[in-house]
Amino acid sequence: SQQGEEDPQALSIQEGENATMNCSYKTSINNLQWYRQNSGRGLVHLILIRSNEREKHSGRLRVTLDTSKKSSSLLITASRAADTASYFCATVTGANNLFFGTGTRLTVIP
Amino acid sequence: DGGITQSPKYLFRKEGQNVTLSCEQNLNHDAMYWYRQDPGQGLRLIYYSQIVNDFQKGDIAEGYSVSREKKESFPLTVTSAQKNPTAFYLCASRADRSGSGYTFGSGTRLTVV
């Protein structure tokens, strides 16, 4: 399976703190994407980073990619209670299909 | 607004029955996907279609079937051969060939009773 893994599986922080989630994958990729899922809902695309990029920012989100280590991290700065959700990384390979990690459940305590 | 519509939101199936989950998109996307999500798990690819009248098996296609007769529609049938069908099913579509622009529907929760 090409499915990746997120670490940690669950993360609980206070509002205002930063949250860091990590993703490891197994095969060469074209790009890596991060998605957010609120409980029982569909996924929302957050950010995409291509294999030739090392870092990308979008608002309070910062994503890094290390292709030599086959890993990525998602940093959410100044977290809010509304950031409470599950976060998934997904890799895209030559077939252009998405393969998802197992997710990190983030809880931001007001 | 453009998007993906999945219906129904909740579906109950008796053992031995086939059920069909609907997925419709008005985004003019070529590629469409079906994923299955189990509690506390990531998403696993069931079937995908890159173009009308063509589809391919994903990682867990056994017990499922699909069709792609129209660009806008990619229905998934959960057959009686699927031994553990209770799960959350998500449909997605993709804008272009570069792997970017995946849009997801809001999902269908299927329960076997």
Q: What is the pLDDT of residues B6-57, one digit of tens each?
A: 999 999 988 889 999 999 999 999 999 999 999 878 899 999 999 999 999 9
In degrees and rounded to multiples of 5, residue A14 shows phi and psi of -85, 150
Closest residue in chain B to residue A31, using alpha carbons only = B99
In this prediction, residue B1 carries a pLDDT of 58
Binary contact (B33, A96; C-beta < 8 A): no
Are A71 and A25 within 8 A, CB to CB? yes
Six token digits for residue A6: 């997120």
In this prediction, residue A104 carries a pLDDT of 95
Q: Is the pLDDT of residue A1 over 60?
A: no
CA distance A90 to chain B (A): 9
> Could you identify the residue written with the tokens 């999902």?
B107
Cis peptide before B75 (omega within 30 of 0): no
Contacts with A88 from chain B: Cβ below 8 Å: 42-43
In this prediction, residue B95 carries a pLDDT of 79
Express each pLDDT in A44-102 by its tens digit.
999 999 999 999 999 999 999 999 999 999 999 999 999 999 999 999 887 678 889 88
Instruction: For residue A2, name the pLDDT band (cuts at 50, 70, 90).
Output: low
Rounded Cα distance between B21 and B24, Å, is: 10
Instruction: For residue B99, name the pLDDT band (cuts at 50, 70, 90).
Output: low
Size (chain A), residues? 110
Q: Is the pLDDT of residue B98 over 80?
A: no
The vertex-B110 CA angle with B108 and B113, nearest 5°, equals 160
User: Tell me, what DSSP letter sits at residue B97?
Assistant: T
How many Å separate Cα B71 from the centre of its chain?
A: 14
Rounded Cα distance between B30 and B67, Å, is: 14
Secondary structure (DSSP) of chain B: ---EEEE-SEEEE-TT--EEEEEEE-S--SEEEEEEE-TT--EEEEEEEEETTEEEE-TT-TTEEE--SBTTB--EEE-TT-S---EEEEEEEESSTTS--EEE---EEEEE-
Contacts with A90 from chain B: Cβ below 8 Å: 43, 102
In this prediction, residue B113 carries a pLDDT of 85
Cis peptide before A8 (omega within 30 of 0): yes
Are A100 and A23 within 8 A, CB to CB? no
In this prediction, residue A3 carries a pLDDT of 65
